Amino acid sequence: MLNAIKPSELLFKGKDFLQLSDFTQEEILYLLEEAQELKAMQKQGKPHPYLAGKVLGMIFEKSSTRTRVSFEVGMLQLGGHAIFLSSKDIQLGRGESISDTAKVLSRYVDGIMIRTFSHDSVEELAEHATIPVINGLTDLQHPTQVLADLLTILEHKGKLAGLKLCYIGDGYNNMAHSLMEGAVKVGMNISIASPQGYLPDEAITEKAIKVGKQTGSTVTVTNDPLEAIKNADVIVTDVWTSMGQEMETEKRLKDFQGYQVNQELCQYAKEDFIFLHCLPAHRGEEVTAEIIDGPHSVVFDEAENRLHAQKAILKLLLG
C-alpha cells in the first residue's frame, strides 16, 4: 500500500476526470491506493457496493474493448449500472449540440464517461454538465489508461518515484501525453523517442517539465530511441497508426522504421525492465512478439488494472 494521505480539502466528489494534470500528486496517489484496496476486495470476494443506485452514461464515438467492458463491469461491481450510448444511436450523432447533450444527460444519470476524438468535445461536455465527466480517451489524452499503467508499475516495481519510464513511438499521441503528465506527478523520470514530425505537444511537454522541476522528475524528448531507452525501468509503446489516422498508414510505417521495440533495443534497458502497451497491439510493427509475449511483458496485468483504476475514479467522483 502507498499509505497516501487522504486529500481532506480537495474533494473528489463532483469533480471531472479529464487529464492527469488537473490532479495533485496526493490525489493521484490516493486514487492508486483506492484502486489497490478495491482490487484486494474483489480478489477476496468482498462485496463493495459503494455506488448502489448510481448510473453511468457511457458515450462512445470510438470503438472499444477495454474501456467499455472495464467501466461497465466496474459499475456493476460497485453496485451501480452503466448505459452504453453509441453516438450513432443518440441525438449527438444527428446534430444535437454537445452542450444540450450534457444538460439532458445531467438530468438522467450520475456521471458521464466519453470516448471520442476531439479533446475539445470532452472539455465542452464537462463545461455544460452538472455531473462528473470522465475522459475515456481523446486524440490528445488517455488518463484512465495511464492511471492503470501507474498501478501496474507500482505492483511490479514496488514504487514509482525515481523510476525511469521510456516511451518509444508516436509522441503526438494520447498515451505519450498522459504518460508525461502522470509520470512527473508521481516523481518518475520519462524519456520519449519519436521521429521528427511526431514529437509530443509542446504545451503539454513544457507543462510537464515545469511540474517535474517541483517533483524531482526529468522529461527528455529525443529522436534517438537508444538514448531514450538506456537504463529504463519501464518501456511503453503504442500503435503507430491510431483510430482516425488510417489514411496515413503507409507513410507512418516508413516514418517509424527504427522505432520498433525489439530485443536488440531492449538490451539497453535495465535487466528487470517491464513492458507495457495499452492494446490492441500490432505485433511486428511497433513491437515484436518476442517482447510483448515475453517474460518482461505485463500487458495483461495492465489491461486488468483498467478495471480497478476506473473503479477508484468512479467511487471517488460519484460516491
- Annotated binding residues for carbamoyl phosphate, as ranges? 64-67, 91, 115, 142-145, 278-279, 306
252: annotated active-site residue: no
Cα torsion for 98, 101, 105, 110, to the nearest 10°? 0
Phi/psi of residue 265, nearest 5 degrees: -75, -40
141: annotated active-site residue: no
Of 16, 110, 170, 238, which one is the catalytic site residue? 238
Q: Please report, for residues 57, 116, 182, 205, the alpha-carbon distance to residue 87 in angstroms, rounded to integers and kept in the order given.
A: 12, 9, 29, 32
139: annotated active-site residue: no
282: annotated active-site residue: no
- Give CA–CA dist 238/175, Å, rounded: 7
- Please provide the distance, in angstroms rounded to a whole number, between the alpha carbons at the two ends of the chain: 22
**3-state DSSP call for residue 247?**
helix
Q: CB burial class (10 A; 0-12, 13-18, 19+) of residue 280?
A: exposed
Q: Which residues are annotated as a binding site for L-ornithine?
A: 174, 238, 242-243
Of 115, 252, 296, 308, which one is the catalytic site residue? 115
Of 36, 233, 277, 278, which one is the catalytic site residue? 278
Tell me the three cell numbers of residue 46.
468482498
Tell me the three cell numbers of residue 182.
502522470
CB 285 within 8 A of CB 23: no
CB 152 within 8 A of CB 30: no
Of 36, 145, 260, 310, which one is the catalytic site residue? 145
107: annotated active-site residue: no
User: Which run of H or E residues covers position 57?
Assistant: strand 55-60
- Give me the residue label for grid cell 524528448: 221
Please list the active-site residues.
115, 142, 145, 238, 278, 306
